[in-house]
């Protein structure tokens, strides 16, 4: 029951932040003067027409009224119109969201065990060569620009070695997308029983996922390393070691259990990383996801898609934070005591 | 906060500044290797950016006709780009953009954070809530996404770039400063200053605020590295430094279309440059932390 109360309180906390985010997104796009009306009718139209179009779009209203209209539209599920694609933004997004989700989800599933393993190994054998190797990887991983790593991997694995496909999106030019079930091509192609297509889809996911994983795991490795280091120096681990319990068990059974909560925090953190990284990876690999949609729209000053994508990403981030906080409350009794 | 959003403090046993003070001289005797290497890389970059362009006798925008997309050679150690410009010179000059934008934005973020945090920590509750609410909203966005949206909303220029990055990096500084002011303002020395009749701004800025410096110092090196990443990333997407300027992220994007045809050097060298500079600041950060651990 306490969890439910906490969840509701925490949700009530999120709403003002979301409203604030809406204000920011709305006013950022206000900074571009008269864009929406001009974009719709073109530059070579007489002022009267522009004024009429402005009025029809509600752009002659005070800013507050416009903001209220914007919020009302969002609540009704209307995210505006993209003049570049000529579609409703919701329509465009529906087509592109699965591509981003597939990329992010697979990366997330790989990154967490990868980072935990490296962090735990480095902390357990602190000072050894393997620790140094992992530390070096973490430093380089945090220092490398993601888009550059992506480009260099294309050069090496596509141009030089021919192991990877060209950076042209989710499926090959000659492939036909699997029948729509989940929108995730990996799952859909398996459901359709088309193993050849599945292979092609996985092949195309390979480089983007590896690049995203290598970069987003690096800061997590450092975090795990620090948390694990503290754990291994703690009294109960020393006691267990002194009691003669083998090292493998001490690490695996006692220390590992206590780093699960930080790992939970990291999941929230990782989604933020991935969504930022997705913008760059999607651009380099011509991945037809929402991040690339936003960037392409921005480049021609088409602002509705940008507003929508920033809103979705932010709302998603807030939701993940919310879920993680509630899960925290559920798992860790100390949080319950502090909240009570 | 860095672009990597490295702000989740899983294990953050921050020592008090008072405890940190006494043995500073002792620690200075031997600098950690990472600090030395980090500073060394930056000094090397300063030297490169000053020496290379005159040495090669070309500027970053000089176009050599008939020298398009030449592979690295004795004449052009880093090769030339699609317009026939010397990539070595452009990489050397690019350092100036990236370091200037990154350092100015972190400086601006620090100043904004200090001022807002100080105001929040000393003002009535509604204003405090308002300022903290604003920082919460900013932190709600993934930092790269917000910086991108801001940079895209205005016409691209280095100033807009600096402001965008600064706003995104500001919340941590504001929150830290506020927390420090909150704890410090009740201490006896603050009472003493008040009893001596000093003005409120003087007490806040000269007496209370310096206490937040140790906390903020630890973050600056990481943030500069994050700011370099954002600068390069935004320019890569076309919302930062504009052509024909030599900026690393922009140069990498100029090489993007050549990567599948094998002209790797157009984007390889600027990317390696970004990596070396970011790593330098990360190493400095590591070194600073080692020194702090010794206290």
As a three-state string, the secondary structure of chain A is: CHHHHHHHHHHHHHHHHHHHHHHHHHHHHHCCCCHHHHHHHCCCCCHHHHHHHHHHHCCCCCHHHHHHHHHHHHHCCCCCECCCCCCEHHHHHHHHHHHHHHHHHHHHHHHHHHHHHHHHHHHHCCCCHHHHHHHHHHHHHHHCCHHHHHHHHHHHHHHHCCCCCCCCCCCCCCCCCCCCCCCCHHHHHHHCCCHHHHHHHHHHHHHHHHHHHHHHHHHHHHHHHHHHHHHHCCHHHHHHHHCCCCHHHHHHHHHHHHCHHHHHHHHHHHHHHHHHHHHHHHHHCCCCCHHHHHHHHHHCCCHHHHHHHHHHHHHHHHHHHHHHHHHHHHHCHHHHHHHC
CA B17 to chain centre: 24
SS3 state of residue B34: helix
The verdict on B227 touching A (C-beta cutoff 8 Å) is no
Q: Which parts of chain A have pLDDT scores under 70?
A: 1, 31-45, 54, 56-59, 333, 335-340
- For residue A337, the model assigns a pLDDT of 61
Decide if pLDDT at B211 tops 90. Answer: no
Residue A59: closest CA among A37, A84, A31 = A37
Q: What is the pLDDT of residues B262-284, one digit of tens each?
A: 888 989 999 999 999 999 999 99
Of A139, A226, A317, the CB nearest to B10: A226
Q: Angle CA(A86)–CA(A88)–CA(A91) in degrees, nearest 5?
A: 110
Average pLDDT for B179-190: 86
> Is the Cβ pair B259, A154 closer than 8 Å?
yes
Assembly ipTM: 0.85
pLDDT on residue B203? 86
Taking only the tens place, the pLDDT of each residue in B103-131 is: 999 999 999 999 999 999 888 889 998 99
User: B62: Cβ–Cβ under 8 A, 6 or more apart, which residues?
Assistant: B85, B86, B89
Q: Which three-class secondary structure state does DSSP give residue B17?
A: helix
Query: 3-state SS string over B142-205?
Result: CHHHHHHHHHHHCCCCHHHHHHHHHHHHHHHHHHHHHHHHHHHCCCHHHHHHHHCCCCHHHHHH
Token digits of residue B205: 């800025």
Q: Which residues of B touch A230 (CB under 8 A)?
A: 11
pLDDT over 90 (residue B4): no
- Supply the pLDDT for residue A231: 84
What's the confidence (pLDDT) of residue B25?
54
CA–CA gap between residue B250 and residue B256 (Å, rounded): 10
B185 by Cβ neighbours in 10 Å (0-12 / 13-18 / 19+) ranks as: middle
For residue B136, list chain A residues with Cβ-Cβ distance below 8 A: 17, 20
What is the pLDDT, as a whole number, of residue B17?
A: 47
Residue B169 — φ and ψ, nearest 5°? Answer: -90, -10
Separate counts of helices (H) and strands (E) for chain B? 12, 0
Q: Tokens for B51?
A: 């020496």
Chain A residues with beta carbon closer than 8 angstroms to that of B145 = 275-276, 279, 310, 313-314
Distance between CA atoms of B57 and B131, rounded to whole angstroms?
A: 52
- Both tokens of A233, joined, read 């120096």
Can you tell me the distance from the alpha carbon of B141 to that of A18, in angstroms, rounded to the nearest whole number?
Answer: 10
* Contact between A294 and A305 (Cβ < 8 Å): yes
Query: pLDDT tens across B5-18, in order?
Result: 333 334 444 444 44
Q: Is B165 on the interface with A (CB under 8 A)?
A: no
Comparing A4-8, A116-120, B19-23, B151-155, the range with the smallest average pLDDT is B19-23
- CB-CB neighbours of A95 under 10 Å: 16
> Could you tell me how many CB contacts below 8 A there are between chain A and chain B?
159
- With CB atoms and an 8 Å threshold, state whether A275 touches B133: no
B42-75 pLDDT, tens per residue?
999 999 999 888 888 777 777 777 777 888 887 8
pLDDT at A340: 52
Has this prediction a pTM greater than 0.90? no
Q: Is B80 helix (H, G, I), strand (E, B) or coil?
A: strand
The per-residue pLDDT for range A287-326, each reduced to its tens digit, is 989 988 988 888 777 778 888 898 988 888 888 888 888 8
Q: What is the pLDDT of residue B26?
A: 53
pLDDT of residue A336: 63
User: The tokens of A291 are what?
Assistant: 């991040």
In chain B, which residues have their Cβ closer than 8 Å to the Cβ of A26? none
Interface test with B, best of A147, A169, A234, A314 (most B CBs within 10 A): A147
pLDDT value at residue B29? 61
Closest CB to B153 among A32, A230, A269: A32
User: What pLDDT is recorded for position B19?
Assistant: 46
Q: Do B233 and A144 touch (CB under 8 A)?
A: no
Mean pLDDT for the stretch of residues B222-232: 92
pLDDT digits (tens, 9 = 90+) for A82-95: 877 888 889 999 98
Cα separation of B87 and B94, whole Å?
10
Q: Provide, as residue numbers in chain A, all residues whose Cβ is less than 8 Å from the Cβ of B10.
A: 223, 226-227, 262, 265-266
Q: Is the peptide bond before B132 cis (omega within 30 degrees of 0)?
A: no
d(CA B40, CA B152): 35
Q: How far apart are CA B146 and CA A25, in angstroms?
A: 9
| Cβ-based neighbours of B193, under 8 Å, separated by 6 or more | B202, B203, B207
Judged by a CB distance cut-off of 8 A, whether residue B134 touches chain A is yes
Q: CB distance B5–A266 less than 8 Å?
A: no
Which of A28, A29, A33, A145 is the best substitution to test chain B (most B C-beta atoms within 10 A)? A145
Residue A78's alpha-carbon distances to A69, A81, A307, A340, in angstroms, are 11, 9, 12, 40
Distance of residue B286 Cα from the nearest chain A Cα, in angstroms: 10
Report, as an integer, the average pLDDT of B140-151: 87
- Angle, helix A303-331 to helix A89-124, in steps of 10 degrees: 40
Specify which residues B80 forms β-bridges with: B86
């Amino acid at each position: 029951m306490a969890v439910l109360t906490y969840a509701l309180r925490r949700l009530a906390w999120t709403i003002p932040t979301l409203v604030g985010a809406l204000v920011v997104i709305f006013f950022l796009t206000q900074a571009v003067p008269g864009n929406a009306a001009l974009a719709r009718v073109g530059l070579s139209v007489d002022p009267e027409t522009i004024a009429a179009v402005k009025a029809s779009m509600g752009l002659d209203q005070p800013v507050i009224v416009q903001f209220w209209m914007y919020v009302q539209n969002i609540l009704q599920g209307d995210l505006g119109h993209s003049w570049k694609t000529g579609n409703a933004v919701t329509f465009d997004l529906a087509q592109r969201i699965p591509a981003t989700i597939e990329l992010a989800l697979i990366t997330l599933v790989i990154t967490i065990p990868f980072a935990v393993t490296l962090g735990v190994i480095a902390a357990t054998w602190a000072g050894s060569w393997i620790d140094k190797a992992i530390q070096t990887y973490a430093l380089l991983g945090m220092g490398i620009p993601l888009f550059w790593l992506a480009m260099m991997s294309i050069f090496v694995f596509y141009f030089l070695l021919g192991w990877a496909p060209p950076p042209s999106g989710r499926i090959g030019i000659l492939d036909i997308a699997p029948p729509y079930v989940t929108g995730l091509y990996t799952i859909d192609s398996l459901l359709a029983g088309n193993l050849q297509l599945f292979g092609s889809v996985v092949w195309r996911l390979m480089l983007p996922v590896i690049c995203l994983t290598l970069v987003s795991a690096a800061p997590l490795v450092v975090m795990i390393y620090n948390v694990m280091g503290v754990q291994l120096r703690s009294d109960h681990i020393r006691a267990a070691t002194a009691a003669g319990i083998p090292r493998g068990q001490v690490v695996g059974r006692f220390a590992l259990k206590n780093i699960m909560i930080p790992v939970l925090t990291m999941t929230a953190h990782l989604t933020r990383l991935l969504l930022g990284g997705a913008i760059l990876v999607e651009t380099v690999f011509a991945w037809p996801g929402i991040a690339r949609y936003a960037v392409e729209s921005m480049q021609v000053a088409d602002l509705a898609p940008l507003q929508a994508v920033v809103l979705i990403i932010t709302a998603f981030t807030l939701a993940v934070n919310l879920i993680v906080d509630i899960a925290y409350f559920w798992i860790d009794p100390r949080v319950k005591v502090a909240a009570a | 906060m860095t672009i990597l959003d490295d702000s989740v403090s899983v294990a953050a046993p921050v020592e008090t500044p008072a405890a940190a003070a006494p043995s500073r001289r002792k620690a200075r005797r031997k600098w950690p290797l990472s600090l030395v290497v980090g500073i060394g890389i930056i000094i090397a970059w300063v030297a490169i950016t000053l020496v290379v362009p005159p040495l090669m006798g070309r500027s970053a925008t000089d176009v050599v006709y008939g020298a398009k997309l030449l592979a690295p050679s004795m004449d052009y150690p880093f090769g030339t780009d699609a317009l026939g410009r010397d990539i070595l010179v452009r990489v050397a000059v690019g350092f100036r953009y990236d370091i200037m934008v990154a350092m100015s934005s972190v400086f601006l973020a620090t100043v904004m954070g200090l001022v807002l945090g100080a105001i929040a920590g000393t003002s009535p509750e509604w204003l405090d809530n308002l300022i903290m609410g604003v920082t919460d909203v900013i932190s709600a966005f993934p930092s790269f996404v917000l910086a991108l949206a801001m940079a895209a909303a205005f016409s691209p220029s280095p100033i807009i770039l600096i402001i965008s990055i600064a706003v995104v990096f500001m919340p941590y500084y504001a929150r830290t400063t506020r927390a420090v002011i909150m704890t410090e303002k009740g201490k006896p020395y603050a009472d003493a200053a008040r009893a001596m009749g000093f003005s409120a701004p003087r007490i806040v800025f000269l007496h209370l605020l310096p206490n937040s410096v140790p906390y903020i110092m630890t973050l600056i090196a990481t943030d500069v590295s994050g700011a370099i990443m954002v600068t390069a990333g935004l320019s890569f997407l076309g919302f930062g430094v504009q052509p024909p300027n030599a900026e690393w992220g922009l140069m990498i994007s100029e090489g993007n279309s050549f990567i599948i045809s094998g002209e790797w050097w157009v984007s390889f060298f600027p990317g390696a440059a970004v990596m070396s500079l970011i790593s330098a600041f990360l190493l400095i950060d590591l070194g600073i932390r080692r020194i702090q651990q010794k206290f």
